[in-house]
Amino acid sequence: MHDARRYHPDTQCVHAGFEPDGTGAVVTPIYQTSTFSFRDADHGAGLFEGKREGYIYTRLGNPTIRACERAVAILEGGHDGIACASGMAAIHTTFASLLRAGDHAVCSAVVYGPTQTLLTGVMSRFGVESSVVDTADLDAVRRAMKSNTKLVFVETPGNPVLAVSDLAAIAEIAQGGGAKLAVDNTFSSPILQRPLDLGADVVVHSMTKFLNGHADVVAGMIVAKTAEDDAAMRKIFHQLGGCIDPLDAFLVSRGLKTLALRMERHCANAGRVARFLETHPKVAKVNYPWLPSHPQHELAKRQMRGGGGVVSFELAGGIEAGKTLMNSVRLCTLAVSLGGVETLIEHPASMTHASMGRDARARAGIPEGLVRVSVGIERADEIIADLEQGLAKT
């Protein structure tokens, strides 16, 4: 579909990225091959020199992977996509492409844990300085900018308390100071939020989550707005080597076909779950961007088309109540990750963030009774009934 950009995202989800391969296949097949043969020496030479279109070696390109890359690039409104082995591989490639020794980066404090560790614990070893700030506070972003700031990295809504940052305003601050803005759009997907339209330069995804949507693939994607950024990042990516597998690219492309449909149901269900939790006596606080009680609700409504599928909430009973709820749910599955069709529930203080200890959790703004639910596409009243019977035991 060569003119996919003209269509509504609902239609793009079904068709974008597909190009006929001459066999009549209606979806891009799985080209499960590591390498591609050359017709003759001149053909091979032409491919290496970039004078001919074609495939050389799967780390550098593969038809199944290209279909997935084009699809996500079209959905995000970017120049092109770079599919990666994981969301972290996409974030690593972004940092390694846009930062060098002596540069400074600004990163959201409410962010996927390994993203922050990669920047402050790994990139720091290569001479990259960073400041971790609350990007929901524009003055904090302005104050963090330095003469050598080359990248502002924002996750919105951010993990796990769903803080919302103003992308259009941050793009102005970043670019005004000579830095690029990269946005982790994993929680919203391009169906609910298009950071490049709001001024961002780069979007990254953990496709493990909503884009694939079926909890059976680990994968990532980078989409740059301009051809120059795409080319620069792709060059580094080819050396770093964190490429996706053709089978996984196929599975993500299949998942994308129902992305718009799934997001509609995720948002409807999560909204109902959030409203239910907000009235429950054992729940002290609910974090969901589409609730009027969310501190950045007006901003969320301006820059997003829906609240997304993730809700987090604080149990009044603290860590013990959290453990009891985890042990009482039946329909909700006790697991980390998010964005799949099934409802997953996790309790950071006893699970993902247990090893930090209570004091470090408090400093990181993670309450002991915080629970995160990735609301799936099951019947909303059955998800709510499961939470209700679990909460009754806390």
Ligand X SMILES: *Cc1c(COP(=O)(O)O)cnc(C)c1O
Q: Which residues are catalytic?
A: 59, 112, 184, 209
Backbone dihedral angles phi then psi of residue 315, each to the nearest 5 degrees:
-85, 135
Q: Going by DSSP bridges, is the β-strand pair 202-206/220-224 parallel, antiparallel, or unpaired?
A: antiparallel
SS3 state of residue 247: helix
CA distance 285 to 278: 7
Q: How far is the CB of 26 from ligand X (least distance, A)?
A: 29
Collapsing DSSP states into helix, strand and coil, what is residue 206?
A: strand
| Neighbouring residues of 360: CB distance < 8 A, sequence distance ≥ 6 | none
User: Do residues 19 and 71 touch, judged by C-beta distance below 8 A?
Assistant: no
- Bridge partners (DSSP) of residue 180 are 151
Between residues 220 and 322, which has the closer beta carbon with respect to ligand X? 220
Nearer to ligand X, 87 or 390 (CB): 87
Minimum distance between the CB of residue 268 and ligand X, rounded to whole angstroms?
Answer: 21
Half-sphere exposure of 88 (CA within 13 A, CB side): 10
Edge-to-edge order in the sheet of strand 129-133: 80-84, 220-224, 202-206, 180-184, 149-155, 104-108, 129-133
CA 7 – CA 370 distance, rounded (Å)? 41
Give the nearest distance from C-beta 323 to ligand X in angstroms: 23
Instruction: Give the shortest CB-186-to-ligand X separation in angstroms.
Output: 4
Query: Residue 251 or residue 391: which is nearer to ligand X going by CB?
Result: 251
Tokens found for residue 332: 């909700």
Q: Which is nearer to ligand X, 187 or 276 (CB)?
A: 187
C-alpha dist (Å) from residue 128 to 3, 87, 99, 181 = 41, 21, 7, 16
**Which residue number places its CB atom closest to ligand X?**
87
Work out how close the CB of 86 gets to ligand X at its nearest, in angstroms, rounded to a whole number. Answer: 3
In whole angstroms, how close is the CB of 348 to ligand X at the nearest point?
A: 13
Residue 120 DSSP symbol: I
Q: How far apart are CA 176 and CA 324, in angstroms?
A: 49
Neighbours of 367 (CB within 10 A): 20
Do 97 and 230 contact (CB within 8 A), yes or no?
Answer: no
**Coil vs helix vs strand at 156:** coil
Footprint of ligand X (CB under 6 A): 86-88, 112, 115, 155, 159, 184, 186-187, 206, 208-209, 218, 220
**DSSP state letters, 67-98:** HHHHHHHHHHT-SEEEEESSHHHHHHHHHHHH
